[in-house]
Amino acid sequence: MKQNLLLTPGPSPIPPFIREALGRQIIHHRTDEFKEVLGRVSQSLKEIFFTSSPVLILASSGTGAMEAAVSSFFSSQDKVIVIEGGKFGQRWKEIATRYGLDVVNYSIDWGSAPDPNYLKQLLESESKVKGILTTLCETSTGTVYDIESIGNLTRNREVILIVDAISGLGQDKLLTDEWGVDVVVAGSQKGLMLPPGLSFISISKKAEEFLRRSNLPKYYFDLNLALKSYQKNDTPFTPAVSLILGLEASLNFIREEGIHNRWEKFSKLARATQEAVKAMGLNLFSFRPSNSVTAVWAPSSIKSSQLVSKLRKEYGISIAGGQGEFKDKIFRIAHMGAIDEDDLVVGFYFLEKVLKDLGYSLKLGSSIVKLEEVLYA
């Protein structure tokens, strides 16, 4: 295998300066040295979440923070609206159902985004809704949702808005406080250029009131404990020390580059990817494409799983296949975290090659020309 290039929506590549920070000798977590790290990292997290509220760090993959959100902010039989337009909306539904919440499912076609007007009607027709659970970037379909408009619906109601930004954070614009988002959930292995193992959760003042009232069972993910420790730059249990050292390196880098600049960069990478795909004669899957991941219909004669495995086995390039009923129908190319222009050029070079080998007819180089046109314009 020539290389190991991850163009997948998690894990995404880890740059050398973060690998170096991750590989440092461990320090003890109950020390001033580590507390200072936690203090600095907490401040930087607020900056990239665009919130003045606490952002807690948990030792789990992203789903852990999703579960923490459900078990910490709600009480048994609370009614919540879940937007289900892909694999990760489905996950919200599964977690909420497992905890005995009364789930109102707003199901939309995969690849489409929720309609804020319909949500408004739902909120007005359903009594006593306590929360809306949704997604910034629905990774399974490469679709970005209009969180700002949804925030306008919940801001002045006794309803909290919880957004899974696990894949979107860092690429797709998210202004937590300004948009009235109460809880944002994220993970380490996507836009933050780290290995899997950390999750994050921000808690607005309104969400904090929900947290105090919640009666659902919880122990490891009891955010009351985590919040109390947070005030002292501490954690209730052993934190993932090495990952947090890596996180500091990541956040410093993002701050230097500037989050607004990064949003612009990924918007360009996304646009280049979309155009390159079309130049090969293929179609986009999403009607509202995100800046984090692009989903593409595979040619009808080719199973996307076959394309994905051939690309990885023969050329060391990892892209993602489809999920659920689109498993063999679509493939997904990530542009997040440390993925850059060069990576996309290399990825498309081999993608063309494999498509051709699998019998798809295309003009070699067509996607590369388009990529360069958008990227280096």
Q: Which is nearer to ligand PLP, 71 or 139 (CB)?
A: 139
- Token couple for 77: 């039989």
- Interaction between residue 337 and ligand PLP (CB under 6 A): no
- β-pair partners for 97: none
- Interaction between residue 7 and ligand PLP (CB under 6 A): no
- Interaction between residue 54 and ligand PLP (CB under 6 A): no
Closest distance of CB 86 from ligand PLP, Å: 8
Binds ligand PLP (CB under 6 A): choice among 7, 10, 240, 329: 10
- Alpha-carbon distance 101 to 38, whole Å? 34
Q: With beta carbons less than 8 A apart as the criterion, state whether 310 and 354 touch.
A: yes
Binds ligand PLP (CB under 6 A): choice among 5, 81, 166, 295: 166
- Interaction between residue 240 and ligand PLP (CB under 6 A): no
Site string for ligand PLP, 117-136 (x = CB under 6 A): ------------------x-
- Alpha-carbon distance 83 to 131, whole Å? 11
Q: Which is nearer to ligand PLP, 55 or 375 (CB)?
A: 55
Closest distance of CB 189 from ligand PLP, Å: 6
The count of other CB atoms within 10 Å of the CB of residue 94 is 15
Binding to ligand PLP (CB under 6 A) within 173-212 occurs at: 187, 196
Closest distance of CB 135 from ligand PLP, Å: 5
- Interaction between residue 8 and ligand PLP (CB under 6 A): no
Owner of token pair 């892209």: 319
- Alpha-carbon distance 143 to 136, whole Å? 8
- β-pair partners for 133: 82, 162
Q: Which is nearer to ligand PLP, 103 or 166 (CB)?
A: 166
- Token couple for 238: 């052993």
- Interaction between residue 290 and ligand PLP (CB under 6 A): no
Binds ligand PLP (CB under 6 A): choice among 67, 164, 172, 182: 164
- Interaction between residue 62 and ligand PLP (CB under 6 A): yes
Cα atoms in the 13 Å half-sphere on the side-chain side of 71? 18
Q: Which is nearer to ligand PLP, 9 or 322 (CB)?
A: 9
Closest distance of CB 102 from ligand PLP, Å: 22
Stretch that binds ligand PLP, among 14-22, 61-69, 250-258, 335-343 (CB under 6 A): 61-69
Q: How many residues would you count in the chain? A: 377
What's the distance, CA 337 to chain centroid? 11
Backbone angles phi, psi at 340, to 5 degrees: -130, -175
Q: Give, as one character, the DSSP assignment of residue 124.
A: H
Closest distance of CB 28 from ligand PLP, Å: 27
Q: Burial of 222 by CB count in 10 Å (0-12 exposed, 13-18 middle, 19+ buried)?
A: middle
Q: With beta carbons less than 8 A apart as the criterion, state whether 10 and 194 touch.
A: no
- Interaction between residue 111 and ligand PLP (CB under 6 A): no
Classify 55 as helix, strand or coil: strand
Binds ligand PLP (CB under 6 A): choice among 34, 73, 74, 88: 88
Q: With beta carbons less than 8 A apart as the criterion, state whether 149 and 139 touch.
A: no
Closest distance of CB 286 from ligand PLP, Å: 14
Closest distance of CB 293 from ligand PLP, Å: 8
- Alpha-carbon distance 159 to 207, whole Å? 9
- Interaction between residue 63 and ligand PLP (CB under 6 A): yes
- Interaction between residue 105 and ligand PLP (CB under 6 A): no
Pairing of strands 79-84, 129-135: parallel
Owner of token pair 């086995």: 313
- Interaction between residue 61 and ligand PLP (CB under 6 A): yes
Q: Which is nearer to ligand PLP, 74 or 145 (CB)?
A: 145
Dihedral sign, Cα of residue 62, residue 321, residue 311, residue 363: negative
- Alpha-carbon distance 164 to 170, whole Å? 13
Closest distance of CB 88 from ligand PLP, Å: 4
Give contact residues for ligand PLP (rule: CB under 6 A): 9-10, 61-63, 88, 135, 139, 164, 166-167, 187, 196
